[in-house]
A and B are shown apart, each in its own frame.
Chain A
Amino acid sequence: MGYTEEELKKELETKEYEYGFYTDIEADTFPVGLSEEIVIAISQRKKEPKWMTQWRLEAYKVWKEMEEPDWANVNYTKPDFQAISYYSAPKSKDKYNSLDEVDPELLDTFKRLGISIDEQKKLAGVAVDIVMDSVSVATTFKDTLAKKGIIFCSISEAIQEHPELVKKYLGTVVPQKDNYYAALNSAVFSDGSFCYIPKGVRCPMELSTYFRINQAGTGQFERTLVIADKESYVSYLEGCTAPSRDENQLHAAVVELIALDDAEIKYSTVQNWFPGDKDGKGGVFNFVTKRGICHDRSKISWTQVETGSAVTWKYPSCILKGDHSIGEFYSIAVTNNLQQADTGTKMIHLGKDTKSTIISKGISAGKSQNSYRGLVQINGRAENARNFSQCDSLLMGNACGAHTFPYIEAKNKTAKIEHEATTSKIGEDQIFYCNQRGIDTEKAIALIVNGFSKEVLNKLPMEFAVEAQKLLEISLEGSVG
């Protein structure tokens, strides 16, 4: 009854993407291509004020001048930005008051994804802002949050209703001209989430959004803005799945976090975009810019479980601007078949007594390439800065690769930095040890992989841990218990 690594490998190769289905909803899609007119049209469609249209156009102008970066350790055919449709919204009514009004087919999609809105409402106490393609179609628990003064809505709604907040913070952490994809996102972002926690408020529930790419040939450009005012706390969850598609789909999101004095933001992601089939056909390009800024004594914590996408290019970062601020990064990146991931973090220490922790776990199987790329920068005035980094890689099979590119820059003598990286495989002796104690090989592998990623899984909020486990299963079924 031996379950060998060989068998596991075979199973992994042939494992189909479970969530690859396509919802047939009539959608309102723009013609392909990108031009100033399209940018204006998106802005108009969303009934945005003039300053917003202007802001988008500025970004578009910058983007036109920029070149697509190619320094990352990934290989892919560059997307043709003129072959993408930049806006797509389900062609139903604009807003729903209750679930009954929602397209039953859409509801069915969520059920198959394992996200029952009813169930989540009752059991988990999670307010879900579901983004299906580009327009928010269901928002729950809004009332509860409203009582506390918390604003949790789509970014287009926020632009309409809270322009002062959006105007003040949008683009302050990730400016329009930050990088190629951030500029593209700034020009054409269709929707996303906006969250504001007022001073001294502890958000009573985990906020979560599920993103899905649905319409064929549409890239999704999410824009998320989370603002935690002084002394507040929020835990934000983000998870993604996407249906099977043969052409590569582009996902270029921007996430901005702002933690004002004494605030804390916990941002967790489970990313499971379609990784392409075992020949590397199809799959999502995930080029994401995520960054947070910490003011005095505040804390930002990124947790991510990356299992999907054909190409991932993602570096959630913290700018530790305020004194005594803390940045954390916990990541599991799993790559299989021909997936490529180049992910990591940047910790920029500017303030005094700032601390950062980086725990990164990479698991590569099949013919995939998994890279960690990180920067720890201690600036001249960052007295007593402290960093601890640990990057571990686990290789399964002989056709994959694991790479580490850490950049460590210290300009202050009081800095204390530790960086550690290891690469190993599941030891035969480890499996033998388990076998001896009556644990079969399959369970042993599960046990070891689980133990390997536990440090990070533990950081996920309870409600999300289950989901994370489920998504890990898709990538490494048979090896995770």
Chain B
Amino acid sequence: MQLEEKLMSSFVAFESEVDTLAPVHDVREKALKSFEKLGFPTKKNEEWKYTPLNTLLKEDFHIFSKHDNTIEFKEVKQYFIHDIDTFKIVFVDGVYNSFLSETTHEGADICLLSAALTQSKYKKVIADYFNQMAAENDAFTSLNTAFAKEGAYIYIPEKKILEKPIQIIHFSTGNDAALMLQPRNLIVVGKQAEVQIIERHQSLSSQKVFTNSVTEIYADQRAQVDYYKIQNDQEEASLIDNTYIRQEKESHAKVHTFSFGGKLTRNNLNFFHNDERIESTLKGITIIENKQLVDHHTLVHHASPNCESHQDYKGIYADTSTGVFNGKVIVEKEAQKTNAFQQNNNILIDDKATINSKPQLEIFADDVKCSHGCTIGQLDEDALFYLRTRGIPKKEAKALMTYAFANNVLESVQIPSVKSRINKIIATKLGVDLGFDV
């Protein structure tokens, strides 16, 4: 409970230091009250049944970085998707780094939330969208809101099709022994606008880092949002990622989550439908080992007719790693003609690995097609044998089959460099020197 108290007591100091628009102060104070009431969740909380937080929360995290942290581009080049031109919003230990970033105000706002929270020209957007989707009854989200100060602010106006993807990267240097980061992103995509975003959290040392991130995405009519989360962090880095997406009529939002690293990774991915003919896609690949834990909690809330959602999560668990999947699909009474699909396939490589899966359907409308499937199994021995008789060594054969198992998810990746980057990470993860690119 130490961390909880520390957070509570440093709030006043934090509030007096930050200079933001008046309404934001109220939002923050309200959020802190809600956090105080909720407290950190325990294992008794159904949503956190399989993901123990006690070791993480015992840690004495610094809430703010005390150092002036700079890093050279060549040190961190490998963490960028650097073979294509992109906008970049880069933070080092929670502080914006202008040297590594490339932002713009031409045609679209790709800049900082701190700017949006303080400058009066953003007042309306902040009033309309800031903290409008984020859940009020989630402790981590409330905590983030209370300390919301910095993050990415992206505003794509109507009919703007952004020509290059945006990278949002959070680095932590490890100059502080244990650091807690609370980035907050706000992304508003106007009518018929299109955007591609790649997000990454990266620790540069073996120090402990705890990131509690909240991202709010608003997709207006016919907007297209394509979001990639690359999670391949150090062993001591933990991440709780809360993403809230609200979609308007005929919009299409896709989120791909690639979880390959970190000590504890929890993804809360929430989709809310506001109108008809909306499509949502949620896909993920998880490949972890050692004592790692990855927890995917997804929610698709169908509230209007004729919408579709697709979920496809693949997990491969080695050593003593733990995987959790809880996929919730809620179909309201009004949401007739909903098509909702959910798929969760898992492979356990080692005896001590664990998977807890809870695919959940709550349906109140009768004219719907909803299904979910969940499997836990092994690689097919016969197929493995076949590959080996063709002269492919066992390790490579296994890697090929594992890759094929996860490939469904990769097929819908729209940015080729992201795809080849993921391919490379998978190859490294499986310990083979294979280029999966075709």
Contact = CB atoms under 8 A, between A and B. Distances in A.
Interface of A: 71, 378, 380, 393, 395-425
A415 B347 CA distance: 9
11 contacts: A380-B351, A409-B355, A412-B351, A413-B350, A417-B374, A417-B375, A418-B374, A418-B377, A420-B372, A423-B369, A424-B369
Contact of A419 (B348, B351, B367, B374): B374
A406 B342 CA distance: 13
B363 A415 contact: no
B363 A408 contact: no
B357 interface: yes
A404 B368 contact: no
Nearest to A414: B378
B358 interface: yes
Among A397, A412, A414, the one with the most B-chain Cβ atoms within 10 Å of its Cβ is: A412
The 7 A-B pairs at the shortest CB distance, nearest first, are namely A395-B366, A413-B348, A417-B376, A419-B374, A408-B357, A404-B361, A423-B370
Q: Looking at chain A's contact residues, is the secondary structure mostly helix, strand, loop, or mixed?
A: strand
A154 B348 CA distance: 48
B374 A408 contact: yes
A402 B378 contact: no
A406 B359 contact: yes
A419 B361 contact: no
Nearest to B331: A423
Contact of B368 (A378, A406, A412, A424): A424
A78 B348 CA distance: 43
A139 to B, nearest CB: 45
Nearest to A412: B351
A402 B333 contact: no
Contacts, number: 116
Contacts of B350: 413
Contacts of A406: 357-360, 374
Nearest to A404: B361
Given A402-B361, A423-B371, A409 B356 contact: yes
Given A402-B361, A423-B363, A415 B376 contact: yes
B378 A421 contact: no
Nearest to A397: B366
A283 to B, nearest CB: 22
A409 B375 contact: no
Nearest to B333: A398
B19 interface: no
B371 A403 contact: no
A396 B370 contact: no
Given A402-B361, A406-B359, A408-B376, A413 B366 contact: no
B363 A410 contact: no
Interface of B: 46, 333, 336, 346, 348-378
Nearest to A427: B367
Nearest to A408: B357
Nearest to B370: A423
Given A403-B362, A412-B348, A414-B378, A423 B368 contact: yes
Contacts of A395: 363, 365-366, 368
Contacts of A380: 351-352
Given A398-B366, A403-B361, A404-B360, A410 B372 contact: no
A221 to B, nearest CB: 29
A421 B359 contact: yes
A401 B362 CA distance: 7
A413 B359 contact: no
A420 B376 CA distance: 12
A388 B87 CA distance: 48
A418 B372 contact: no
A127 B374 CA distance: 43
Nearest to B318: A413
A425 B359 contact: no
Contacts of A400: 364, 366
Given A400-B366, A405-B360, A413 B371 contact: no
Contact of B358 (A405, A411, A417, A423): A405
Nearest to B336: A398
Contacts of A425: 366-368
A103 B320 CA distance: 66
Contacts of B376: 378, 408, 410, 415-417
A401 B350 CA distance: 40
Contact of B375 (A378, A399, A414, A418): A418
Among B46, B366, B377, the one with the most A-chain Cβ atoms within 10 Å of its Cβ is: B366
A418 B377 CA distance: 8
Nearest to B49: A407
Contacts of B370: 422-424
B374 A413 contact: no
A396 B366 CA distance: 6
Contacts of B360: 403-406
A401 B377 CA distance: 32
Contacts of B375: 416-419
Contact of A410 (B354, B365, B371, B373): B354
Nearest to A413: B348
A414 B374 CA distance: 16
A407 B336 CA distance: 27
Given A398-B365, A416-B376, 19 more contacts: A395-B365, A397-B366, A398-B366, A401-B362, A404-B360, A404-B362, A406-B374, A410-B346, A410-B348, A410-B354, A413-B349, A415-B348, A415-B377, A416-B375, A418-B374, A419-B357, A419-B374, A422-B371, A425-B366
A404 B349 CA distance: 28
A406 B350 CA distance: 24
